[in-house]
Structure 1
């Protein structure tokens, strides 16, 4: 009798263990998918480099923002000559670092000798991080949308997302349906930011086999079409509005309450160069 009881207890523990293992597998985070009533999310374009002393694509800048607000970090991936994935937007080091020359022509070791500058040209003590460092740091701190530059193979980015089990907090940005389909074939579980500004672009992605529950829709950089965003929401797709550029300037000139109106129109994520200002406006 006692032996039978121990056996039942063992089976129960084993079942719970298997259930726990399944629960922690690489399934996409609910964060990236639309749910009615979900709070607006702010995505800091290039990691928020428009604040003095905090360069773009820099872990110290990510941490500074994350200490003040829940934030999604949109960041850029380039690749050195020896195939190390670095967080840099430009093709060259000239604008944002103390170095010069093309990133693809220089070795990783050279990148680590450089210091970063903020967008106003102020020098900092911060250095260029790798994608590995960013993924390792970001777990349970921020979410990411990873902007993969043209010279960077999607295979290398997906492999690191898999290595760090980052599916719940990192999505991959694509700019056309073919690239989105390639990313989906590489990993059926990874979330993909896709450009879907109208029904034709949506159908193009669907035709290539990308399911709704793996899409985050980038809906452009103009004032949102609420009818189209509602259509995407009805499919369970979260919508990113690019307020960076003209819309951010409009909000700065007129009123930050414009961020509220864009959210009400269906832009439940906003990619902005003014993350702190947008967040504060949405809290009101």
Structure 2
């Protein structure tokens, strides 16, 4: 009898091992088959059963924000998109940094627009606690060369001030299809500024409760602003910003969903997502990240990439 039990246990163990190996192999296959092209297609063709995850300034809790290390750490987690910020130096080089000055994030002082690149390259980045690290301030070109061919896209925040120059770097590095531009201006303003260049980039309009024109005079309701793009230009996505749960922006999401255009939501702080932030989601993910998804989000930009990915995978909304 004991022999039969032992044999049965061995058989069960072998079957379980085979199943686990099969699952592991499938996971490895899913990860290895992920490409920037696939992520771009998922962004262009949103579905209800998949949510893309964006790391805000990279994995800045474990590496300096906007650093290549922060991007790499987010990439290794399995993040789909990394948001970075683009600024121009005194001698017209594009670097990756959020603030207008180097004071907060580096060992230096001064406004980026008043400092030449070679001086910025002598500085080192600080970590989240404000302590110096070994990491340097990267140029946009260095970042794009780093991500080239890797399974990740970059969201180029603040590049609207230097869109042609940013595009030139993407063209030079062969990474046009790994970058997303965004901005606040109505379509006709963007077309007046940039002409046919708008047809060569992946562009995401930002939809606020009120979107003003270039002169700050005539206000456009969210649905009117969005419809201007939908009727005359196919945006890669809409970044929606709503400060209240009854915001008119949420009503406008229905139009975006109808047109099968991706809805991007930032859960970084209260005013961007009606209070359904990452920090609250850590305590109750269903009530916050779940609420955001229920309201139509296909993309979530987060300051908690590891935890968001865990939640999405548990819900079978991410590979």
User: After TM superposition, is the score higher than 0.5?
Assistant: yes
Give distance in 1, aligned partners of 2:261 and 2:163: 23
Give distance in 2, aligned partners of 1:205 and 1:226: 17
Match of 1:243 in 2: 267
Residue 73 of structure 1: SS of its match in structure 2?
strand
Give distance in 2, aligned partners of 1:199 and 1:226: 10
Is residue 149 of structure 2 the alignment partner of residue 119 of structure 1? no
1:279: Cα distance to partner? 1.4
User: What is the Cα-based RMSD across aligned positions, in Å?
Assistant: 2.4
Match among 176, 179, 197 for residue 186 of structure 1: 197
Q: Deviations over 1:71-91 (max 9, x none)?
A: 311100001111010001101
Give distance in 2, aligned partners of 1:67 and 1:201: 37
Structure 1 residues 149 and 36: alpha-carbon distance in aligned structure 2, compared to 1, 3 A threshold: closer
| Number of residue-to-residue matches in the alignment | 251
Is residue 66 of structure 2 the alignment partner of residue 66 of structure 1? no
1:236: Cα distance to partner? 2.4
The answer (yes or no) to whether the contact 2:57–2:70 under 8 Å persists in 1 is no
Is residue 142 of structure 2 the alignment partner of residue 133 of structure 1? yes
Is residue 239 of structure 2 the alignment partner of residue 218 of structure 1? yes
Give distance in 1, aligned partners of 2:262 and 2:226: 13
The answer (yes or no) to whether the contact 2:47–2:298 under 8 Å persists in 1 is no
Is residue 261 of structure 2 the alignment partner of residue 266 of structure 1? no
1:206: Cα distance to partner? 5.0
Residue 44 of structure 1: SS of its match in structure 2?
strand
Give distance in 1, aligned partners of 2:42 and 2:139: 24
Match of 2:90 in 1: 81
Residue 256 of structure 2: SS of its match in structure 1?
helix
The answer (yes or no) to whether the contact 1:75–1:145 under 8 Å persists in 2 is yes
| Deviation larger for 218-227 or 66-75 | 218-227
Residue 199 of structure 2: SS of its match in structure 1?
coil
Unaligned runs of 5+ in 1: 1-25
The answer (yes or no) to whether the contact 2:46–2:298 under 8 Å persists in 1 is no
Structure 1 residues 68 and 184: alpha-carbon distance in aligned structure 2, compared to 1, 3 A threshold: farther
1:45: Cα distance to partner? 1.3
Give distance in 1, aligned partners of 2:49 and 2:200: 22
Structure 1 residues 135 and 31: alpha-carbon distance in aligned structure 2, compared to 1, 3 A threshold: farther
Match of 1:46 in 2: 57
Give distance in 1, aligned partners of 2:205 and 2:278: 22
Structure 1 residues 36 and 74: alpha-carbon distance in aligned structure 2, compared to 1, 3 A threshold: same
Match of 1:11 in 2: none
Larger radius of gyration: 2
Give distance in 2, aligned partners of 1:227 and 1:102: 40
Give distance in 2, aligned partners of 1:184 and 1:249: 41
Give distance in 2, aligned partners of 1:120 and 1:130: 23
Unaligned runs of 5+ in 2: 1-36, 209-221, 271-276, 315-319
Q: Deviations over 1:84-115 (max 9, x none)?
A: 10001101110000111011101100111111
Give distance in 2, aligned partners of 1:39 and 1:183: 33
Is residue 299 of structure 2 the alignment partner of residue 278 of structure 1? no
1:70: Cα distance to partner? 2.6
1:32: Cα distance to partner? 2.6
Match of 2:154 in 1: 144
Alignment of 1:158-173 (within 5 A): 158-173=167-182
